[in-house]
Amino acid sequence: MKILIAGVDGYLGWSLAQYLTARGHEVAGADIFFRRQWVEELNSWSAVPIAPIEERLQAFKEHFGTKLHFWQGDLRDYAFVEQILREFQPEAIVHLGECPSAPYSMIDVSHAVFVQTNNITTTFNLLFGIRDICPQTHLVKLGTMGEYGTPNTDIPEGFFEIEYNGRLDRFPFPRQAGSWYHWSKVHGSNNIMFACKIWNLRATDIMQGVVFGTRIDEMGDDQRLLTRLDFDQAFGTVINRFCCQAVIGHPLTVYGQGSQKRGFLTLKDSMHCLTLAVENPPDVGEYRVFNQFANVFSITELALKVQRIAQNLGWDVKVCHLENPRHELNEHYYNPTHQHLLDLGYCPTHDVEAEISIMLQDLWKYRDRIRANKEILIPEFRWNGTKKKVKFLD
Amino acid sequence: MKILIAGVDGYLGWSLAQYLTARGHEVAGADIFFRRQWVEELNSWSAVPIAPIEERLQAFKEHFGTKLHFWQGDLRDYAFVEQILREFQPEAIVHLGECPSAPYSMIDVSHAVFVQTNNITTTFNLLFGIRDICPQTHLVKLGTMGEYGTPNTDIPEGFFEIEYNGRLDRFPFPRQAGSWYHWSKVHGSNNIMFACKIWNLRATDIMQGVVFGTRIDEMGDDQRLLTRLDFDQAFGTVINRFCCQAVIGHPLTVYGQGSQKRGFLTLKDSMHCLTLAVENPPDVGEYRVFNQFANVFSITELALKVQRIAQNLGWDVKVCHLENPRHELNEHYYNPTHQHLLDLGYCPTHDVEAEISIMLQDLWKYRDRIRANKEILIPEFRWNGTKKKVKFLD
C-alpha cells in the first residue's frame, strides 16, 4: 500500500516508516522538524542521538533498498498538504503531525494556543485534502487514551449505548481530558467523526496508551536509523524517563502517590497496531475508534519494575515521590476496553520487563548525554500555571 | 457591576450593552468589526442600517448619559486582552467575540480553520487573562443548543448522571454538533470546563437557541442605537430571514421538509437571560451550563407563523421548501431541558406572534435594502463541500 506518514521525523513516525517499509509498503513522509525545535526550546535533547534528515534518508535507502519519499514543510499550510496528496496519492495517511505533549501545552497561553491550533489545523488540512483529492484514503489519526480521563465507569472504544430517562441512544463516550494537549486530541476526534459523517470519509482514531521503548528490530545496527528518545519533562514519557533516570543513578521520580493508572504499550506494539489499522481499513464513511495499549499499570508499579530490572543489571536506584505538577486523580477506577485490535490479530507484549531490560542496556551507552541534562528530569511546568521545580515528597 | 462585552459591535453585543447599562451596570466593550467584514465578504449587508462605531458610541452617551468604554482590537492578541482586563477589571465578561455562523464555517478549508482557531484562541485569551489578572471574574460564554445535536434522548443542561455496565458516574452530556462552527463551540465548552476545574475559575456556558427580533425597548427611537439584522445565507438566522423574505414578498424558504426542531427565543429574552446569568454568578470553581431558549418549534411551524402574521398585515407570501444544504436529521426526537434560567426568574416570551409582528413592521421600512440583495436569500454553501444554489423542491 502507499502510506503517507505526517510527522515522519518524530519518535513514532521514524520508526513506523521503517516498520511499514520492511513489510513491503511504499512509504512517504512529511515533516517540518517541530519536534526537534520544541525539545531544543526546553533546553533538552534526545537521549539517543538522532541523525539529520539527510543522513536518515540516506541510511534508509541503504538499509531498505528503497527511497523514503520526503516532503519538508508545514502541515498547517493547505497548499503544502494538497501538493503531497496530489503527487503521492496515498491509500492511507497516518497522522502523527501534531504536538504530543501535555506539559508543553500547559506552559502558558501562547503554548496552549499553539498546541490546539496546530493540532486542529493540521487535521483539518488532511481532512479537506482527502475529501478533495483522494476521498478513498483512510486517515489513521493518533489520539490518546488521555482523551477519556479516568471516569468511574468502564471505558468503551469510542462509543457506547446508554439509556437516559427511559430512552436509548448510541453516543460518543464523553471525554474528560487532562491538559490542553489532551483536549486538542478530543477536538480532533470530534472533527474527524463529523467529517466522516458529512463527507463519507473513512478514519481510524487511535486512543493510544503511553508508548515506551528505544528501538524496533527493523532498525538493525545502523545508528542513523535509531529513533529519538526524550527524557525532558515535556516530551519524555514516563517509562522512557524512568529508564533514563536509572542509567545515571538518578531516583525514579513518581508524580504524587503514583496510584494513578494508565495503559501502556511498547514501541514495537505501537508499530504493529498502527500497521493492523492501516492494513485493515474501515468501510467508506466509517469512523472507528481503537483503544490501543497492551497493559494497565500504576505509575508506582512501573517505577518498581524499572528499579528491579536495574538491580538485576547491578545498578542501585531509588524510587522517590514528587509533588504532582499535574491535576489528576490519584485513586480511581480504570477499566478501558481494547478489543478491536485484538480482533484484528494484535498479540500484546505482556513481558514489559524484557523490554525495559533492552531499554536500559540501550540507554547505558548514552548515559553521559542524559547526565549532562539531569536537571530537566524534575518538572517545573505546573497545571496551576506556575513555573517552579516541584519538591521531593520523601 | 462592571461588565465587559467581547464582541460588543454584533447583533447581541450591541443590544446587551444597552440592556445592561439601562439596568445600571457599568459596561465596556471590545470589537475588531469582524462581523461587519464577514457579511461584506459574502456581498451582503444588514437589513437594518447600522451606524459606524463612533456614531454608536456618541448616541450611546447621549441616550444613556454615560460612556460605553470601548477598545478596538483583536481578541486573538493576548496583549490586547491583558490590557483591557488590567484597565477595566471587569466582574463579569460576556464572550460574544466568536464567529457565529455554521454556513460560513462550511465554505472551505480556510473558513473552517479560521472559525475554529479564532473561536478557540479568543476563549483561551480570556481564560488566561482571567486567571492571571482577575481570577474572581465570571466568564459568561455563548455556546449554542446546536452543540448537542438531536439525540434520541432528553437533553440535560450540560451534564447527566448515568449507569454504564453497572457503574454510575456524572458525565458531560455527549455533544454531536452539526457544523465546524458548532464544533468550535463544543471545543470552547470543553476548554472552559477544564479551566474551571484546574484554575478554580467560574463560568456560565450558555447553550443558546436561535435568537430572533429587531429591537429591544432600551434602543428607543434613535436609529443609531439599532442593532444589525442579517438576512444572508450565513449570518441571517431562520426567523429573521423569514421576516426579511416576507416584507419583500419572497417565498419563505424552508430547508428540506422543515420537520427539524430547534429552540428559539426573542432578542429581548436573550438579553434578559444573559443578565440573569451575569447578576447571579456561580461559585468560584463552578462551571455551569444553561440551556437558553423559550420555545421549541419546527422550521415549518415557524414559516407558517410568519406567513399568517404577514397575511394579517395584508401581505401574501408563500412557504416553499428548498433542498437542504445542511446535513441534519429531518425527523427526530427533541426534548431539551431548560430549568436553570427559569429557576433564576426567567419568564419566557411565549407570544412569538407578537414579536414577529413587530419585526415585520420594523423591517418594512428597510424592504428596499433587502430587495436589493434578494439573491443572497437562497443558500449555496452546502455541507458536502460544493458551492451551488440549492433548488426549490416544490
Is the CB of B183 less than 8 angstroms away from the CB of A191? yes
Q: Which residues of B touch A112 (CB under 8 A)?
A: 124, 128
CA distance A115 to B215: 41
Judged by a CB distance cut-off of 8 A, whether residue A287 touches chain B is: no
Judged by a CB distance cut-off of 8 A, whether residue B386 touches chain A is: no
Predicted-complex ipTM score: 0.98
pLDDT at A137: 98
Mean pLDDT of chain A: 97
Other C-beta atoms closer than 10 Å to the C-beta of B60 total: 23
A199 backbone dihedrals φ, ψ, rounded to 5°: -115, 0
**Shortest Cα–Cα distance, A116 to chain B (Å):** 8
Other C-beta atoms closer than 10 Å to the C-beta of A370 total: 25
pLDDT at B394: 78
**CA–centroid distance for B132 within its chain:** 28
CA distance B192 to A42: 27
Judged by a CB distance cut-off of 8 A, whether residue B223 touches chain A is: no
Would you say A293 and A327 are in contact if contact means Cβ atoms under 8 Å apart? Answer: no
Which regions of chain B are under pLDDT 50?
none
**Shortest Cα–Cα distance, A187 to chain B (Å):** 6
Q: In chain B, whose CA is at the least distance from the CA of A325?
A: B198
- State the distance between the two ends of chain A, measured CA to CA, in whole angstroms: 53
**Average pLDDT in the A57-83 region?**
98
Return the C-alpha cell found at A260. Answer: 494513578
Q: Which of A108, A128, A327 faces B198 most closely, judged by CB atoms?
A: A327
Alpha helices in chain B (DSSP H): 11-22, 34-41, 53-64, 78-88, 102-105, 109-133, 180-199, 238-247, 267-279, 299-312, 340-343, 352-364, 367-371
HSE-up (13 A, CA, CB side) for residue B43: 7
**DSSP reduced 3-state for B301:** helix
**What residues of A act catalytically?**
144, 181, 185
pLDDT at A278: 98
Q: What angle in degrees, to the nearest 10, is found between the helix axes of A109-133 and A180-199?
A: 20
Q: Which of B78, B120, B199 faces A116 most closely, judged by CB atoms?
A: B120
**Shortest Cα–Cα distance, A276 to chain B (Å):** 28
Which residue, B383, B166, B373, B346, is CA-closest to B255? Answer: B383
Q: Which residues of B touch A186 (CB under 8 A)?
A: 187, 190
**Shortest Cα–Cα distance, A6 to chain B (Å):** 18
**DSSP reduced 3-state for A222:** coil
Is the CB of B164 less than 8 angstroms away from the CB of A160? yes
Active-site residue among B141, B185, B261, B268? B185
Which residue, A47, A11, A46, A61, is CA-closest to A31? Answer: A11
**Shortest Cα–Cα distance, B260 to chain A (Å):** 17
Question: How many percent of chain B have pLDDT more than 90?
Answer: 100
Is the CB of A190 less than 8 angstroms away from the CB of B171? no
A394 pLDDT band, cuts 50/70/90, is confident
CA angle in degrees (0–180, nearest 5) for B6-B10-B15: 90
Return the C-alpha cell found at A49. Answer: 542521538
**CA-to-CA dists, residue A38 to A386, B91, B137, angstroms:** 20, 37, 33
Would you say A47 and A369 are in contact if contact means Cβ atoms under 8 Å apart? Answer: yes
Q: In chain B, whose CA is at the least distance from the CA of A151?
A: B169
- Domains in chain B with CATH codes: 2-377 (3.40.50.720)
Return the C-alpha cell found at B272. Answer: 434578559
CA distance A246 to A254: 13
> The cell 407558517 sits on which residue?
B304
Residue ranges of B 189-208 with Cβ closer than 8 A to chain A? 190-191, 194, 197-199
Judged by a CB distance cut-off of 8 A, whether residue A334 touches chain B is: no
- The β-bridge partners of A142 are A206
pLDDT at B286: 98
For residue A352, the surrounding DSSP H or E stretch is helix A352-364
Q: Which residues of B touch A180 (CB under 8 A)?
A: 191, 194
Burial B292-311 (b: 16+ CB within 10 A, else e): bbbbbbbbbbbbbbbbebbe
Which of A77, A164, A180, A328 is the mutation pick for testing B, counting most B CBs within 10 A? Answer: A164
Q: In chain B, whose CA is at the least distance from the CA of A385?
A: B199
Return the C-alpha cell found at B78. Answer: 493576548
pLDDT at B16: 98
pLDDT digits (tens, 9 = 90+) for A203-229: 999 999 999 999 999 999 999 999 999
Is the CB of A109 less than 8 angstroms away from the CB of B128? yes
What's the full length of chain A, in residues?
394
**Shortest Cα–Cα distance, B164 to chain A (Å):** 6
Q: Which of A125, A175, A199 faces B385 most closely, judged by CB atoms?
A: A199
Would you list the DSSP string of A18-56? HHHHHTT-EEEEEE--HHHHHHHHTT--BSS----HHHH
Which residue, B26, B75, B32, B12, is CA-closest to B268? Answer: B12
Q: Which of B131, B162, B183 faces A162 most closely, judged by CB atoms?
A: B162
Is the CB of A120 less than 8 angstroms away from the CB of B124? no
Is the CB of B113 less than 8 angstroms away from the CB of A124? yes
Q: Which residues contact B279 (CB under 8 A, 6 or more apart)?
A: B1
Q: Which of B151, B168, B177 faces A171 most closely, judged by CB atoms?
A: B151
Strands B138-144 and B92-95: parallel
Is the CB of B176 less than 8 angstroms away from the CB of A174? no
**CA–centroid distance for A247 within its chain:** 23
Question: In chain B, what are the helix, strand and coil shares in percent, each to the nearest 5?
Answer: 40, 20, 40
Is the CB of B327 less than 8 angstroms away from the CB of A385? no
CA distance A250 to A259: 21
**CA-to-CA dists, residue A235 to A107, A303, A392, angstroms:** 13, 18, 21
CA distance B232 to B40: 10
Would you say A59 and A221 are in contact if contact means Cβ atoms under 8 Å apart? Answer: no
Judged by a CB distance cut-off of 8 A, whether residue A133 touches chain B is: no
CA distance B190 to A185: 12
Would you say A318 and A236 are in contact if contact means Cβ atoms under 8 Å apart? Answer: no
Judged by a CB distance cut-off of 8 A, whether residue A171 touches chain B is: yes
Other C-beta atoms closer than 10 Å to the C-beta of B122 total: 24
Give the number of A-B residue pairs with CB atoms closer than 8 Å.
135
Would you say B164 and A160 are in contact if contact means Cβ atoms under 8 Å apart? Answer: yes
Q: Which of A109, A128, A176 faces B109 most closely, judged by CB atoms?
A: A128
**CA-to-CA dists, residue B194 to A60, A210, B286, angstroms:** 43, 22, 11
Q: Which residues of A touch B109 (CB under 8 A)?
A: 78, 124-125, 128
- Whether A2 shows a pLDDT value over 90: the answer reads yes
SS (HEC) of A79-126: HHHHHHHHHHCCCEEEECCCCCCHHHHCCCHHHHHHHHHHHHHHHHHH
Active-site residue among B144, B266, B275, B349? B144
